[in-house]
Amino acid sequence: MAIDHALSTDNSAAPNSPLPPDDVRRVVTEVMKPGQFFAGPLLQVRWSHENEEIFWEVFNGRVLDRTKTRQRRKFEAWNLHEVEPTIADNEPVLSVKFDAAASEVHVTRSILSYAWEAYSDEIGAIQSRETVKRNRELIGSLSLAETSSADQLRDNLASLLFLAIVGTSRLPLTSEESPHPAFTFGQWMYCYRANAGDVPCSNAREWIATTLRTGLPWKQKARLLEFLIRTSGNEDIPGVVDQWLSSWKAVGHEQTDLLGLFRTLFQEISLSPYTDFVTKFLGFVNALVPIRSISHADVADFVALQLQLLWRHLNAFDLIRFHHRGANYPDALLLDELLRRLFYLADSIPELFLPQPGDTEFDSKQKRLRRRGLRLGWLLRNQYAGLAVPELPTSSGENGRVLPVPYHRLPDKEILNPEMRTHHLFEAKLQLPEAVGRILSGTFDDLNESTELQELGTALFLDRPLGLSKRPGEPDRTPLLSYIAFSREVAHARLQLLSRCAGMESLAPHLQMLGRRLESSEFSIGVTWRADKRLERPGVAGLENVLLVSDDFALLRTTRRSLDDFLGYFDLAPLEGIGLQSILAPGKCLMLRDQHQPDQLWVYDERWHKRLWLRVNVSQGFVSRPGVELPRNGLEALAFPEAHPKQTIRLHLK
């Protein structure tokens, strides 16, 4: 691949920047070296370093298309272009743009998309026509005035380039938050490495061997495994397993760490467009069993957990109301693959699910959780069987992207109008092996356990409480909090679904008893949430979705992982001095924005008593970190009820 060098000679210092321009150029050149990239055979790109003057305007946090602005800016740019572009479009696939005058660095990417353009016909009339072009997206901007060192700039830029490939959010509601299609199809990856060379890697196993290292963040390790599987064929999986285990051990990890990595992988992954990734991933997992890296029980635990998480997700965001009336259904395809795998394990090794003499308390709990996954997955499949769907799972936004064969563009009418769809979910009936039927029948007794009955009405909701001051349509990259919630109404509906699926008259009295139990004080739990005014934030997850599903949802707790991530951005030391830090125990507390004052948060303890008041201070705006925005002035905290002299405690950013 040819690398062009059009180096700038402007060494004038940028105002208010602690870093000299030459230091910025040196760092950008290092992080954009070809050796930092994996480039597959279908992605032929060239690197260039040049001065450019382009149409450029950032509006509401997004960079405008060049046809929608008259403003122009000069940049020193490090660009990746296609070697043989299929369209006459000079937009780079990836770019780092340095504006020395403004003391800013921007990272952009482009997605090949269908679009409309204006043109003048033979008589001079302005017409419009569809075309194919690259849609430029702003991944992130860095203010050099807030960058204290070259090392910090290097870390931040490398993180933004990584996000440009894998997407900026684990919940991809907008295009910028979604992975680049070249990553989804195993053609492109980025990971910063010291002393990278001048040639991109095209061998995935070599890439992993030289990239996976001890100091790499855990989430990046999970994305590396995802990429390795995406870029491999089914026939390559045994070799991929050997390569990964060798590299995994070389950086000091144990085989027992793999299950945690798998969970992180599925927490971060975007499955749209739906490829053969899940099939290959399950093949990867299966290949670990004969060599005793993991056991059949480990596989059953992992698959059952993923089915439970799918259940909670679809209890909150069902396919019809929240997924373009069923048009975007990768969750259903994932459900089918996972459930078939769990059916296989239940049929071939039923003792993994059924009580056995000598079972310990731990064994009994794990078997109950496996039966839970089996029951929930089976119910979900029955619920959505026959739902009219397009030929491929997609959304209006995704359908506007140009994807490789065999993925093709669908008629808009299939996405917008269910009556125009000719395909249906789960047309092939899932056979119920005798052993699986026996296990499922036994799961009805599990519902006598309060945790199992509660799970029927449990859902997972999402919110970005720090970004409520942003304008409608503006990207919100503030920390994402997730919540476990419970609804009696949803639990009752699930009992009715269970009754229809089971088709057993003898089960009716038992289900009626469970329904009455749901109305008891045993399930008067959590904190109900009713906002005074619905906040319209298109493309942003919000607690307002709770009310779209059921008006009786009660929020139980903030998930451990999202609270850990949230708290990691703030210095909590001031709370230690007055004994309040223990209230923020991940997995035991609920951090929830106030129903009347959106800029305020309440922290509840595990018994849902208010203990801490927090206020989001956005008077000085936000500071950008790679992939996240945080209030520059941090948070203000006050104990509640007041156990100490009234004082506001400031929690600064780390």
pLDDT at 302: 97
Contact 560, 483 (CB under 8 A): no
In a domain? residue 54: yes
Residues 181 and 245 in one domain: no
Strand partners, 592: 602
Token pair, residue 541, equals 């997850």
3-state SS assignment for residue 353 = coil
Helix (H), strand (E) at residue 316: helix 296-316
In a domain? residue 410: no
In a domain? residue 407: no
Residues 191 and 273 in one domain: no
Q: Could you say which of 228, 262, 294 is where a domain stops?
A: 294
Contacts 24+ apart (CB under 8 A), 4-10: 4/46, 4/47, 4/48, 4/49, 4/50, 5/48, 5/49, 6/48, 6/49, 6/50, 6/51, 7/49, 8/51, 8/76, 10/76, 10/100
Contacts 24+ apart (CB under 8 A), 130-133: 132/86, 132/87, 132/402, 133/87, 133/89, 133/91
Residues 89 and 224 in one domain: no
Q: What is the CA radius of gyration of the chain?
A: 26
Note if the pTM is more than 0.75: yes
Q: Could you say which of 261, 294, 327 is where a domain stops?
A: 294
Total residues belonging to the chain = 654
Residues 76 and 159 in one domain: yes
Residues 6 and 133 in one domain: yes
Residues 208 and 231 in one domain: yes
Q: How far is CA 171 from the centre of its chain?
A: 4
Residues 87 and 2 in one domain: yes
In a domain? residue 248: yes
Q: Could you say which of 181, 202, 223 is where a domain stops?
A: 202
The C-alpha angle with vertex 239 and arms to 234 and 242, in degrees rounded to 5, equals 135
pLDDT at 12: 39
In a domain? residue 619: yes
Token pair, residue 512, equals 């009626």
In a domain? residue 342: no
Report how many domains make up the chain: 3
Q: Which range marks the domain in which residue 274 is found?
A: 204-294
Residues 167 and 226 in one domain: no
Question: Which residues of the chain carry a pLDDT beneath 70?
Answer: 1-17, 85, 504, 532-535, 641-646
In a domain? residue 389: no
Residues 255 and 226 in one domain: yes
In a domain? residue 360: no
Alpha helices in 420-544 (DSSP H): 434-446, 450-455, 488-502, 508-518
Residues 251 and 172 in one domain: no
| Euclidean distance between CA atoms 316 and 336, whole angstroms | 19
Residues 471 and 620 in one domain: yes
Residues 111 and 30 in one domain: yes
Place of tokens 């039966």: 371
